[in-house]
């Protein structure tokens, strides 16, 4: 910017005078019409006696080699000025450029050595022991994991009781589980229960493009931990630095150096006394075997999604921080949130508080909690979306087909609510909530799920004689279930065999014959076709009920389970 500015000023100054050939300047000198001359390098500016100003460029070295020209001008009384401003400006610019380069090099060196190494002893890298201290009472839904970790708490509290028996403290604990299940919260609760310092870092903080930085940060982390004696070091998302070595496609020398340093610090020649390393990941399969061996991560604790009882406890824990009505049925809400993680349940409680505040209520009600649950499950209601009468009619019959099939088939999850109010990308929603958590699936249940999914398309064909794109997601999900039944669960005439699917990376290398692929495709198609036929036959038998549900949806937009059962009638034994 300085160079461009100086050049601009110079050009602006040069443009104020007329540019002439050097011969014209010499002719003006001979004629005696030059009153003043300013020389700057090879540039010459001359003021003429008639008031004009001219400028020209002398041949390189001409002025220095022809001193008699300047002498002749002086004898004629011409004022001569030698301008060295440009040389001074260039010198200053050169000094600034050198200083900038030196500063940049020094700043880069500082960042790569001490400036960017994370300090875990400061306030920003150590969990404060105060009002926000977390204990086991603040963690719910993971009772087995808490029981597994109580020994570590006891050892940190009273290490002498175990050392006198010859026992040693576990070096590390690996918390494994899907996102949002409370792995970080569980690690903080251990520190809160034991009353020891809690140092934490993220796995990505040890991965840098500069050689040696990651290993230096690992050394700094454990050096600071040793100053505290007994403490907990928590590394979140350890898979960022602990990936398995030797994979040629993902080999990275700097990351491997960092991992080697971590392995040495956890179990090397130098012991670390009462330091417990707790790490969290949801990608245990990619971790290096040397990291998982006993002596480093001695225990691997699985932190999964909670069951109905655990979800109820989690909801009650999160509800401590908000004002709620005393008659809240937490068990009913927990049964309506199958598969929700702790983070999802916290989001439900927070959304309920926001809904209550938006409505001007002083406490959260059951309706607020269920509305928040529906929002998290199905998306935000898009009441501003204007649908045509035809679109509303098609959506109502489509959702009525889903609802009737789900309401009358014996192995289907109970219908909770049906709505034709657009939510997210869906024009309508049929919400089913299981009575209990399912961990295994029978063939009857999966075939019933396919029939429920195909109920929307069957209703369109039977009652409206159309086929719409609204069934695309239903068809995709039904095909996925049928594919799992054939390829993974052995629920087809092909027998109990595992067939690699096309989306499996290993299948691209191993594969199977074209004849087998055709048989797999035929079986998937047959399963979906049977589900479609089953749904169509049932809806044809319950035409009155389907029409009643569709008309009620067009009138009220949302109906609940009791109203659906009243309109449809009793479930059937088998279809």
Three-state secondary structure call for residue 417: strand
Q: What is the C-alpha to C-alpha distance for residues 250 and 256, in angstroms, rounded to an integer?
A: 10
| H or E stretch covering 566 | helix 561-568
Three-state secondary structure call for residue 573: coil
253 is catalytic: no
Strand order in the sheet with 429-432: 429-432, 415-419, 558-560
| H or E stretch covering 291 | helix 289-292
Phi/psi of residue 127, nearest 5 degrees: -70, 125
Of 329, 398, 403, 450, the C-alpha closest to 568 is 403
Of 280, 247, 242, 283, the C-alpha closest to 262 is 242
Q: What is the C-alpha to C-alpha distance for residues 306 and 298, in angstroms, rounded to an integer?
A: 24
Which listed residue (208, 399, 447, 523) is catalytic? 399
Phi/psi of residue 503, nearest 5 degrees: -85, 5
Of 182, 179, 187, the C-alpha closest to 299 is 187
Q: For residue 385, how many other CB atoms are within 10 A of its CB?
A: 11
Q: What is the C-alpha to C-alpha distance for residues 269 and 495, in angstroms, rounded to an integer?
A: 55
What does DSSP assign to residue 117?
A: S
Please list the alpha-helical segments (H only) found in 111-240.
143-157, 159-163, 183-194, 213-227
Sign of the dihedral defined by the CA atoms of residues 178, 179, 185, 188, in that order: positive
Structure tokens at 484: 């799992």
Structure tokens at 307: 């069951």
| H or E stretch covering 39 | strand 34-40
Structure tokens at 251: 């080999």
Q: What is the C-alpha to C-alpha distance for residues 171 and 300, in angstroms, rounded to an integer?
A: 12
Structure tokens at 103: 């500063």
Place of tokens 């065999």: 497
Using alpha carbons only, how large is the chain's radius of gyration in Å?
39
Q: What is the C-alpha to C-alpha distance for residues 368 and 359, in angstroms, rounded to an integer?
A: 10
Strand order in the sheet with 18-19: 18-19, 53-57, 43-48, 34-40, 79-82
Residues 6+ apart with CB under 8 A from 52: 18
Beta bridge partners of 81: 38
Of 515, 511, 519, 523, the C-alpha closest to 481 is 523
Please list the alpha-helical segments (H only) found in 431-560.
443-459, 472-487, 505-509, 514-541, 543-556
What is the set of active-site residues? 399
């Amino acid at each position: 910017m300085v160079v461009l500015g100086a050049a601009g000023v110079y050009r602006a100054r040069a443009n104020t005078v007329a540019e002439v050939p050097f011969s014209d300047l010499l002719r003006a000198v001979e004629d005696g019409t030059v009153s003043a001359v300013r020389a700057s390098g090879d540039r010459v500016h001359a003021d003429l006696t008639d008031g004009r100003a001219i400028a020209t460029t002398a041949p390189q070295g001409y002025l220095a080699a022809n001193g008699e020209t300047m002498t002749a001008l002086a004898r004629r009384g011409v004022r001569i000025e030698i301008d060295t401003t440009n040389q001074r400006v260039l010198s200053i610019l050169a000094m600034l450029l050198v200083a900038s380069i030196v500063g940049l090099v020094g700043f880069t060196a500082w960042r790569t050595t001490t400036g960017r190494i994370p300090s875990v002893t400061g306030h920003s890298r150590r969990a404060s022991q105060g009002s926000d201290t977390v204990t086991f009472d603040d963690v719910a839904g993971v009772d087995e994991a808490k029981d597994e970790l109580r020994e570590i708490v006891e050892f940190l509290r009273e290490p002498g009781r175990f050392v006198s028996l010859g026992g040693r403290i576990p070096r590390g604990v690996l918390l494994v589980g899907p996102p949002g299940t409370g792995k970080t919260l569980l690690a903080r609760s251990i520190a809160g229960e034991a009353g020891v310092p809690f140092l934490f870092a993220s796995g990505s903080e040890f991965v840098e493009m500069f050689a040696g930085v990651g290993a230096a940060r690992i050394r700094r982390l454990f050096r600071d931990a040793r100053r505290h004696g007994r403490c907990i070091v928590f590394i979140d998302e350890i898979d960022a630095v602990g990936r398995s070595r030797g994979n040629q496609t993902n080999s990275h020398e700097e990351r491997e150096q960092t991992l080697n340093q971590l392995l040495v610090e956890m179990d090397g020649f130098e012991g670390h006394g009462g330091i417990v390393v707790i790490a969290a990941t949801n990608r245990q399969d990619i971790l290096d075997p040397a990291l998982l061996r006993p002596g480093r991560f001695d225990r691997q604790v699985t932190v999964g999604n909670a069951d109905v009882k655990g979800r109820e406890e989690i909801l009650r824990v999160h509800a401590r921080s908000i004002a709620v009505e005393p008659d809240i049925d937490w068990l009913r809400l927990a049964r309506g949130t199958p598969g929700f993680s702790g983070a999802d349940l916290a989001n439900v409680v927070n959304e309920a508080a926001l809904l209550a505040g938006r409505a001007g209520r002083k406490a959260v009600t059951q309706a607020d909690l269920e509305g928040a649950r529906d929002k998290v499950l199905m998306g935000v209601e898009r009441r501003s979306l204007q649908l045509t009468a035809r679109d509303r009619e098609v959506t109502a019959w489509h959702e009525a087909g889903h609802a009737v099939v789900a309401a009358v088939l014996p192995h289907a999850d109970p219908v909770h609510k049906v709505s034709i109010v657009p939510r997210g990308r869906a024009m309508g929603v049929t919400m089913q909530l299981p009575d209990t958590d399912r961990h295994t699936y029978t063939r009857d249940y999966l075939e019933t799920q396919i029939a429920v999914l195909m109920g929307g398309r069957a209703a369109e064909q039977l009652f409206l004689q159309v086929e719409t794109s609204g069934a695309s997601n239903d068809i995709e999900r039904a095909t996925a279930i049928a594919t799992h039944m054939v390829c993974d669960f052995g629920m087809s005439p092909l027998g109990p065999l595992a067939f690699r699917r096309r989306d499996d990376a290993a299948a691209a290398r191993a594969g199977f014959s074209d004849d087998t692929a055709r048989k797999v495709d035929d079986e998937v198609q047959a399963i979906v076709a049977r589900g479609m036929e089953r749904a169509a036959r049932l809806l044809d038998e319950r035409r009155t009920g389907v029409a009643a549900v569709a008309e009620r949806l067009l009138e009220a937009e949302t109906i609940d389970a009791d109203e659906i059962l009243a309109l449809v009638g009793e479930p059937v034994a088998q279809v």
